[in-house]
Amino acid sequence: MNISHNFYGLTADWAMSAIESLGLRPTGEYFKLNSYENRVFDIFLEKGLNPDELDGHIIIKIYRPDRWNEKALLEEQDFLKDLDEAGIPVIKSYKINEQYLHTFKGLFFTLYKKGIGRLPQEFNSGKLQSIGRTLALIHNVGEKKIAKNRKTLNTHSYGWPALENLSHWVSPETWTRYQKAAENILIFLDDYLDESQFFRIHGDCHRGNIIESDVYSESKLPPFRFVDFDDFCIGPAVQDFWMLLSGPANETTNELNALIDGYEEFRTFPHEQIKLIEGLRGLRIIHYANWISQRWKDPVFPIYFPQFREYIYWAEETEMLEKIAWNL
């Protein structure tokens, strides 16, 4: 059986069969939720035939094959469980049949109770301080264990191999400039990343991965829940900060200071890592482009990224990398 082909053609019927294999009973209604990397469905459940705590819904997340092995996926579930047990507002996996991770027809999947909330429209200083407090608590938990099967956020895992692969994708007209700027960024990170300061972090902490709610928890934590730990990795604390900024660090000083002020109520922030922010931004640009190239056989990616094979895409990417490289 071609597992990748099975994943590319995955339908809600597959998802419903998967949850039925665990004893849940769907109504046949569903919503497909947005996700580039995995396949995610909100499945409606029959009332009276499923646990009352699910309130008529279950979210199923089906993992893309050949990305994470079973041990790495279990480490994601373990991190979420650790955070939840510490009272930190995350959406952890739903345990059923004594397991958080399941398989069906060769694919791994997890289940989640439906979370209530909305994407934040804007972050004022008070909200950023609240998010900073929660990040500190996440990092306090993150440093307590080692995740041996997750990636380390360095140039070896995210940079140099990606750049080598991109030589086959970047527009020939821009490749020389792209390569030079990317190499300057990666060399900078090789010089300044200190892996002795690394621990378990969210890794993909942008505004789309935070849900805001009007309901405060009993612990008086802020009304934000962190979601999608699919890219959790071993890295520096500042990686979970810079994607929350509305622009480059030198143009969003007040935002960064608000996050740090909240963070330092529970944990010391490593201020020396601020100089890494623009380098990490450049690393993400390189990694993101490589990620698209590696997913190009998935039929949805040419639809999602129609300009990826065109000159204009790479001209804009090159200009972004050059601006970062010049200012390191």
Under 8 Å between Cβ of 282 and 182: yes
pLDDT at 293: 97
Sign of CA dihedral 105, 109, 114, 117: negative
pLDDT at 312: 97
- pTM of this prediction? 0.92
Every domain range in the chain assigned CATH 1.10.510.10: 125-326
Please count the other Cβ atoms lying within 10 Å of the Cβ belonging to residue 24: 21
pLDDT at 224: 80
Location of structure tokens 């991109």:
166
Q: Please list, in sequence order, all residues whose beta carbon lies within 8 angstroms of the beta carbon of residue 303, skipping any fewer than 6 positions away.
A: none
The DSSP annotation for 167-188 comes to TTTS-TTTHHHHHHHHHHHHHH
What is the mean pLDDT, run by run of 10 residues, along the chain of 328 residues? Answer: 71 95 95 91 92 91 93 95 90 90 94 77 84 95 96 97 97 97 98 97 92 58 80 97 88 92 96 97 97 94 94 97 96
Q: Which CATH architecture has domain 3-112?
A: 2-Layer Sandwich (3.30)
**192 half-sphere exposure, CB direction, 13 A CA radius:** 17
Dist. CA 68–CA 40, nearest whole Å: 17
pLDDT at 4: 58
**Strand 102-104 vs strand 107-112: parallel, antiparallel, or unpaired?**
antiparallel
Every domain range in the chain assigned CATH 3.30.200.70: 3-112
Closest CA to 265 of 229, 200, 215, 220: 220
pLDDT at 3: 61
CATH assignment of 125-326, among 1.10.510.10, 3.20.20.80, 3.40.390.30, 3.40.50.970: 1.10.510.10
pLDDT at 258: 95
Please count the other Cβ atoms lying within 10 Å of the Cβ belonging to residue 64: 21
Which H/E stretch holds residue 255? helix 253-263
Under 8 Å between Cβ of 89 and 115: no
H helix count then E strand count, the chain: 12, 9
pLDDT at 217: 46
pLDDT at 214: 61
- Terminal CA-CA length for the chain: 48
Question: Helices in the chain by DSSP H: which ranges?
Answer: 3-8, 12-20, 70-85, 125-142, 155-158, 160-166, 175-192, 239-242, 253-263, 277-294, 300-304, 311-326
Residue 186's identity, in one-letter code, is L
Dist. CA 281–CA 321, nearest whole Å: 9
